[in-house]
């Protein structure tokens, strides 16, 4: 049986129950629009989370003459601390920051505060960059008890925990919301196919009596589901594009989150939505035909 005949039958079925088809396509449109929105916001939030985690580090402050019982850190102790840190597989980079360099950095960041400072109060330190933001607490814990020559270890415990918690919540909620929307869209497409099957049940019985093949009977319903999913996905892409061009510059565009914080490219989002629309249409048709179309 030619594909053109199957497509023609599917189109006839869609136009015969136009109100049901439009309702299904509109539901898929809303679902795909929300999925696309979540993909954009979710990837942006995930990118922000990675950016925030990349800013986390561990500062190991070394002893000075007026701290640690008057025992200033020695060169041998510095070397031992550096070796211990550098050998940790969770550590990406260890940088020695002298008190002079640290004060110069502070002068750039907080000129109003440092202007009235008479003497440099900062100690030497090692600045540790982890391979993953999640490794920060573990690296700090590995320096407890404090090695000889270390005054204290600081990694902004409360800030680090908040950033890691928010990043995890973003990831989990995005995945759950997308999964729920996809499931709902699949069920709604399946219901549309089910209604179409019920509306044409007598016609199907006649076709089987005159010897129509399973492909001829099932094909139009499969194409119907694919077209419904595709139309809904295509319409959602148009809406998302308008939102991207008109709404996004006035909202997210004003946020100064960092140059490396970006959502997934719109072209990839559009491609994902088209593929999801086809998959949802195929899944809804297949599930419904197995349950309600006995041929």
> What pLDDT digit, counting tens, does each position of 155-209 carry?
877 777 777 787 778 778 877 877 787 777 677 666 766 666 666 666 666 666 6
CATH architecture, domain defined by 57-154: 2-Layer Sandwich (3.30)
Q: So what's the pLDDT on residue 89? A: 92
- Is 0.85 topped by the overall pTM? no
Instruction: Tell me if 60 sits within 8 A of 143, measured CB to CB.
Output: yes
Say yes or no to pLDDT of 289 above 70.
Answer: no
Q: So what's the pLDDT on residue 159? A: 73
Residue that is written with structure tokens 């909202």 in the block: 251
Instruction: Tell me if 236 sits within 8 A of 273, measured CB to CB.
Output: yes
Lookup: tokens for 257: 């989150």
When the pLDDT of each residue in the chain is averaged and rounded to a whole number, the result is: 77
Average pLDDT over residues 237-242: 88
Q: So what's the pLDDT on residue 1? A: 47
Give the tens place of pLDDT for each residue, 50-100: 777 777 888 998 888 777 877 888 889 999 999 999 899 999 899 898 888
Instruction: Tell me if 200 sits within 8 A of 13, measured CB to CB.
Output: yes
Average pLDDT over residues 35-56: 78
Lookup: tokens for 234: 């295509």
Please state, in angstroms and rounded to a whole number, the distance separating the CA atoms of residues 3 and 23. 26
Percent of the chain with pLDDT over 90: 4
Instruction: Tell me if 194 sits within 8 A of 288, measured CB to CB.
Output: yes
Please state, in angstroms and rounded to a whole number, the distance separating the CA atoms of residues 149 and 62. 6
Please state, in angstroms and rounded to a whole number, the distance separating the CA atoms of residues 147 and 145. 6
Say yes or no to pLDDT of 128 above 80.
Answer: yes
Length reported for the chain: 295
Residue 256 CB partners (closer than 8 Å, separation 6+): none
For the chain, the domains span 3-52+162-292, 57-154
DSSP per-residue letters across 25-75: HHHHHHHHHHHHHHHHHHHHHHHHHHHHHHT--EEEEEP-TTSGGG-PPPH
Which 3 state secondary structure label does DSSP give 217?
helix
| Residue 4: how many other CB atoms lie within 10 Å | 8
Instruction: Tell me if 234 sits within 8 A of 25, measured CB to CB.
Output: no
Task: Specify the higher pLDDT residue, 258 or 171.
Answer: 171
Please state, in angstroms and rounded to a whole number, the distance separating the CA atoms of residues 229 and 222. 11
């Amino acid at each position: 049986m030619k594909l053109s005949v199957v497509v023609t039958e599917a189109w006839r079925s869609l136009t015969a129950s136009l109100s049901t088809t439009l309702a299904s396509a509109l539901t898929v449109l809303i679902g795909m629009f929300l999925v696309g929105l979540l993909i954009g916001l979710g990837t942006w939030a995930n990118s922000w989370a990675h950016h925030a985690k990349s800013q986390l580090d561990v500062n190991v402050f070394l002893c000075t003459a007026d701290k640690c019982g008057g025992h200033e850190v020695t060169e041998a102790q510095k070397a031992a601390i550096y070796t211990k840190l550098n050998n940790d597989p969770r550590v990406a980079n260890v940088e020695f920051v002298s008190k002079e360099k640290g004060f110069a950095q502070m002068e750039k960041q907080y000129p109003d505060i440092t202007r009235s400072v008479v003497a440099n109060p900062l100690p030497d330190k090692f600045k540790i960059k982890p391979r993953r933001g999640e490794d920060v607490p573990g690296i700090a814990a590995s320096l407890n008890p404090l090695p000889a020559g270390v005054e204290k270890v600081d990694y902004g415990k409360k800030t680090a925990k908040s950033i890691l918690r928010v990043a995890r919540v973003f990831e989990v909620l995005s995945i759950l919301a997308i999964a729920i929307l996809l499931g709902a869209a699949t069920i709604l497409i399946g219901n549309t196919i089910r209604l179409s099957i019920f509306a044409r049940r007598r016609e199907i019985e006649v076709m089987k009596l005159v010897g129509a093949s399973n492909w001829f009977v099932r094909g139009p319903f499969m194409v119907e589901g694919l077209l419904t999913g595709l139309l809904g996905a295509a319409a959602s892409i148009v809406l998302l594009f308008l939102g991207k061009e008109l709404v996004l510059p006035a909202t997210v565009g004003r946020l100064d989150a960092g140059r490396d914080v970006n959502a997934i490219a719109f072209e990839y989002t559009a491609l994902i939505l088209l593929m999801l629309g086809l998959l949802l249409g195929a899944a809804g048709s297949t599930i419904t035909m197995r349950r309600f179309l006995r041929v």
